[in-house]
């Protein structure tokens, strides 16, 4: 079983802060796979990732549901993908996933990653969000890289 971190976020701001702490520690080639129902906060968390990656805060991070992929440029490029409307992993590959993953100085974050499990690399950081109240969300992070997860814990205060 992958090492796990669990946290209850009590507001959109707290989810943003968690994403920012994770984003600060991301490195070229990282892959973040997000799961959780509609409105659970996947996009909100990715907004935080973008801030942590140095994307200017006035650049709007919005759901790519209709355009499928958005690209933000900070210290690293963030490819934000929404797999909600994709037929499956093949469609993700045809959008150029392999190229995005292999691109230097880039990271990939996929919402609804459980819809395209074949496309998610083994080393991905998995984040599952669940509603536990009006504004409360349980956020569970699983990452095979124990050291990176431990490092994130120290940054997330
Ligand atoms: N603790 C919280 N963390 C994140 N979002 C929260 C929280 N409490 C309330 N919200 C609200 O829940 C909504 C989360 O929306 P968001 O677009 O991030 O969800 P999503 O998981 O990406 O949904 P979708 O599957 O439709 O893409 C926002 O309206 C946000 O303000
Ligand atoms: Mg979303």
Q: Where are the domains of the chain?
A: 4-155
Specify the pLDDT at position 57.
84
Average pLDDT of 113-141? 97
Average pLDDT of 57-70? 78
Residue 55: count of CB within 10 angstroms of its CB: 20
Atom of ligand 1 nearest to the CA of 137: 1
Specify the pLDDT at position 29.
97
CATH code for the structural domain at 4-155: 3.40.50.300
Specify the pLDDT at position 137.
98
In terms of Cβ atoms closer than 10 Å to its own Cβ (0-12, 13-18, 19+), residue 134 is: exposed
Specify the pLDDT at position 11.
98
Specify the pLDDT at position 2.
82
The pLDDT tens digits for 75-109 are: 999 999 999 988 899 999 999 999 999 999 999 99
> Which residues have any ligand 1 atom within 6 Å of their CB?
9-12, 14-15, 36, 38-44, 63, 111, 135, 137
Q: Is the pTM of this model over 0.85?
A: yes
Nearest residue by C-alpha to atom 3 in ligand 1: 12
Specify the pLDDT at position 66.
67
What is the average pLDDT value for the chain, to the nearest integer?
94
């Amino acid at each position: 079983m992958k090492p796990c971190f669990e946290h209850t976020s009590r507001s959109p701001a707290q989810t943003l802060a968690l994403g920012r702490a994770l984003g600060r520690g991301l490195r070229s080639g990282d892959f973040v796979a997000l799961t959780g129902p509609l409105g659970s906060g996947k996009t909100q968390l990715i907004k935080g990732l973008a801030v942590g990656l140095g994307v200017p805060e006035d650049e709007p991070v919005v759901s790519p549901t209709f355009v499928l992929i958005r690209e933000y440029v900070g210290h690293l490029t963030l490819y934000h993908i929404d797999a909600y409307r994709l037929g499956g992993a093949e469609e993700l590959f045809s959008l150029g996933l392999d190229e995005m993953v292999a691109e230097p100085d880039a990271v990939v974050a996929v919402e609804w990653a459980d819809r395209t499990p074949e496309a998610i690399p083994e080393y991905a950081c998995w984040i599952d969000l669940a509603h536990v109240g009006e504004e409360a969300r349980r956020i569970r992070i699983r990452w095979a890289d124990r050291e990176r997860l431990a490092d994130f814990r120290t940054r997330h205060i």
